Amino acid sequence: KITVEDAHIRFDIPAFAIDRQIRACTPNPGAWCNLHAYCEDSQIISLHVLSCALAKDEDISIHNLSELKPGQIFAGKRNIWVGSSSGVLELLEVKAQGKKAMKAADWARGAHLSQESYLD
């Protein structure tokens, strides 16, 4: 049986392993991580990742995503990516603490993430 602790996403593992972990833990208990948001009110928020995909090679080269550190977030206009120990994940759907599930890019636009924000 998968426990809540098993569902905690660690970004110090390869992107393909994180992708598999998220698929295995969705819908229950739900893959989750902590967002360290450095905006107006610097806080830590629980974030459930409902779906993701390995970043496309063209996105990695266009946006220089290969430089992302594990857990580091890069939000584009229509996408949001996060680094891992090897590879980059595109977050597709997330559910922030106390909010409804939504497309990750829509959530990121509303969250007003700073460049120092990261996931762990």
pLDDT per residue as tens digits for the range 40-98: 666 889 999 999 999 999 999 999 999 999 999 999 889 999 999 999 999 999 999 99
- Rounded to the nearest 10°, the torsion over CA 8, 12, 111, 59 is -130
Residue range 15-119, CATH number: 3.10.25.10
pLDDT digits (tens, 9 = 90+) for 32-44: 999 998 766 668 8
Q: Say what the pTM is.
A: 0.92
